[in-house]
Amino acid sequence: MSVTTFSFIDEAANTQGILTHFQNNGFVILENVLTPDEVEYYVDLFDRDRQKWGSPNFWHPFGTYQTRNCHALVTSPEFDQLLRHAKILPLVEFLMGGPTCFSELCLRHMTPYNGTPNQSFHRDRPHWEEHPLRMDYMQLMVYLTDVNQETHCFSLSPESVSEPILGTLGQLDRNGTVDCHGMVGTVVLFNIAVLHTATVRVTKHERKTVQAYYGHRSRPFLSNCSVIPSKFWYHHPDQEIREFYGNLNDTTRVFLSAFESEQDESATVQVSLNNSSESDEV
Ligand SMILES: O=C(O)CCC(=O)C(=O)O
């Protein structure tokens, strides 16, 4: 199956084309989103994070084939800039169709491999059928290494919003699969309800990715994977950024209660709740 990609090379994104592709497939591949300097910066940040905080600290095995650090906003808060990148966040908000919030951030690493190839197709969450793109949560995947036929890659089974939702075998049989390849710096956005997998290949190459999730501010938080530092959701001077990070998960709340006095904690949580009710009213 041939794969359509969208390029930001001329600075102008083909937003309507991206929307149509997302409606028909549940994902989009974007090239040239990051400048070469940005790519170098984030690869270096990733490497330094892994070097400093690798196992047994913040990096842990995830399944059989990956290690990941889901507290990257704590260990390398500079990744905030990638999550809210001027060419990425507006597109995420456009596709999500309303105020969007941070849900999770994981840095993931896959090593060279000489075993049995593997795919394990799954949906992270159900579709949200009231949404025009049936999308409750979206994932941003940024490749920090070249990804091609010779490496591990991300794969999914495209599905259109106008098609019935099928079980795994029915979906794979009806629509097949797509391997998402691209140069370092390639960005994939996808609905996490779409059937997807890491494709594990025999390879001499490692794969590095940044995988971030976005949700709707008015919907439940996605997961308890990532602590959200209070510098973003409480202390940040920009209210919009506070609200972007303000859909707190229980992990953040339990750390909050552990690190603050009872008096401070109730005051902080109260401010956070006030912020979210203000945003609900907008
Ligand atoms: O890492 C990958 O390529 C796949 C990621 C995945 O399956 C997931 O985030 O649920």
- For the segment 70-95, the average pLDDT, to the nearest whole number, is 97
- What is the C-alpha to C-alpha distance for residues 50 and 67, in angstroms, rounded to an integer? 10
* pTM score: 0.92
**213 & 265 share domain:** no
Dump pLDDT digits (tens) for 122-137: 999 999 999 999 999 9
**147 & 251 share domain:** no
Among 194, 226, 258, residue at a domain's last position: 226
**211 & 270 share domain:** no
Residue nearest to atom 8 of ligand 1 (CA): 197
Dump pLDDT digits (tens) for 260-277: 776 665 556 554 544 444
3-state secondary structure of 92: helix
Token digits for 79? 């990744």
**188 & 253 share domain:** no
Check pocket membership of 197 for ligand 1, CB cut-off 6 A: yes
**131 & 183 share domain:** yes
Token digits for 58? 């913040």
Phi, psi for residue 21 in degrees, rounded to 5? -65, -40
Q: What is the pLDDT of residue 8?
A: 84
**162 & 65 share domain:** yes
CATH number at residue 176: 2.60.120.620
Tally the domains of the chain: 2
**160 & 269 share domain:** no
Q: Which atom of ligand 1 is nearest to the CA of 211?
A: 9
Q: What is the pLDDT of residue 264?
A: 61
Dump pLDDT digits (tens) for 85-99: 999 999 999 999 999
Token digits for 156? 């999914």
Q: Bridge partners of 216?
A: 100
Say which residue, 250 or 280, is predicted with more confidence: 250
Print the domain residue range for 117: 5-226
pLDDT bracket for residue 176 (50, 70, 90) = very high
- What is the C-alpha to C-alpha distance for residues 269 and 276, in angstroms, rounded to an integer? 11
